[in-house]
Structure 1
Amino acid sequence: MKLRKFLKKRLWNNNSSLVQLLGLCPVLAMTTNAVNAIGLGITTTFVLTITNSIISILKCFIPKDIRIPIYMIIVSSTVTCIEMLLHAYQYNLYQSLGVFIPLIVTNCIIVGRADYIAYKNSFFIAFLDGISIGLGSTFAMFIIGSIREILGNGTFLFGLNKIFNILDHSFFFTFIDKNSTIILAILPPGGFLVLGFVIAFKNYLDLNKKKINCLKCFHSCKLKQ
């Protein structure tokens, strides 16, 4: 039960992109299609998990006064290694993500989790925190990217072969005719609009669930009386 609450808090209740609104630059820039969103999300998840784990293991050796510069060294080293691996084994995805791979170093989510969680908790908690926060951000980016791609290009999962090399470049779904698409959706203002609608829908679901729980509590109290 505690693990479920731990994951729910990070994946949904305190989602880094939809609630805390952290790291919105890559979220808005790389969500013009679902594949780029998945690629950046998975890359960020790997960086978060690895850096959290390393910092948690080495926390006893990291001086408190200079911990932030040490975090940056660990994060930048991890990002560089992952960037080199993508360049070697997933070159098409590497090209699509472009400059946003090295910019993961400046993502405030990673340094924030390193200082708030990894530096103060055990390896297991830091590891789970990195995975759950990363997957929460990936989920948010995937939803935004899917909506923008369908509305703006009429396709879904276009370019999936960048992630799975065994797939053909023609493997994607078409939902809307090219002449009926809304070009605004894949432009920067469209990113802000879609993000706003997704956040509003999440808030609606949360409020609706809260009302249902309150009604259940009210009826249970009434029955006890």
Structure 2
Amino acid sequence: MMATPYKTIIKDGLWENNGVIAMLLGMCPTMAVTTSATNGLGLGLATALVMAASSLLVALFRKTITQEVRIPVFILIIASMTTLVDLCMNAWMHEMYKVLGLFIPLIVSNCLPLARLEAFAAKEPVSRSFVDGLFMGIGFTLSLVVIGAIRELIGNGTIFADAALLLGPAFHFMELRLLPADTGVLLAILPPGGFLVTGLVLVAKRMIDLAAGKEIRMAGAHSV
């Protein structure tokens, strides 16, 4: 079987099969942490690291992992990589670690990493599997950042607020106030706002695909 081209892998990860706006996976963390673009960026990057590392390991050992135990082994690999990322964030990005809290360990229960290991890394070469995990994670990160930025802008009038506090002083330039402090709509940063903004982003993606003449593919999996 011919290996999937890198261009297709990257395009799928960023747009065509984007975990949030195409496959509708990982919706619980999407709704919970996207009250700001900074939080979305933090969890998204953590997830991208877990996915890239897990895909690499599964591809390396795919010939020795039997069909009967593949799912437990995949979950064990994801859990190990998540624990490593969790410890690193606690050590070097402690402020963000405190904000994201339980949602870092819950990367293990996110459907997206396991789905990509089963659908791609278990079948493709090592380099392509690593790229798939990385760009699926980057696509997930971009979705969280976009949804978080929209909610934060409407709710607080800012974008990437507290980026310097959470990511370090070098990221102070990212903190922007675009609207007056008293013009925010509280609904945007409450749970209903998460559903509304995510729905609008999904609609925007569908409209762009239709304008490009693409056939709309309905998501075939439910989210976790």
Q: What TM-score comes out, normalization by structure 1 length?
A: 0.89
The 5-angstrom pairing of residues 1-225 of structure 1 reads 2-167=5-170, 172-210=175-213
Unaligned runs of 5+ in 2: 215-224
> What secondary structure does 2:19 align onto?
coil
- 1:3 and 1:29 map into 2 onto residues whose CA distance is 32
Q: Which runs of 5+ in 1 are unaligned?
A: 212-225
Q: Structure 1 residues 171 and 63, CA, compared in 2 at 3 Å: closer, same or farther?
A: closer
Q: CA deviation at 1:186?
A: 0.2
The structure whose Rg is larger is 1
Counterpart of 1:220? none
Indicate the SS of the match to 2:168. coil
Q: Which has the larger displacement, 27-36 or 199-208? A: 199-208
* Higher RCO (CA < 8 A, seq sep 6+): 2
CA RMSD, Structure 1 to Structure 2 (Å): 1.8
Does the 8 Å contact 2:55/2:129 carry over to 1? yes
What percentage of residue pairs aligned between the two structures are identical? 36
- Quick check: which one's helix share is greater? 1
Is the contact between residue 35 and residue 151 of structure 2 (CA under 8 Å) also seen in structure 1?
yes
Counterpart Cα distance in 1 of 2:173 and 2:56: 39
Decide whether aligned partners of structure 1 residues 170 and 11 sit closer, same or farther in structure 2, where only a CA change above 3 A counts. closer
Deviations 1:151-194 (A, max 9, x none): 00111111111453234879621112222111000000000000
Report the equivalent of 1:223. Answer: none
Quote the Cα distance in structure 2 between the aligned partners of 1:83 and 1:180.
36
Q: TM-score normalized by structure 2? A: 0.89
User: Does the residue aligned with 1:17 lie in a helix, a strand or coil?
Assistant: coil
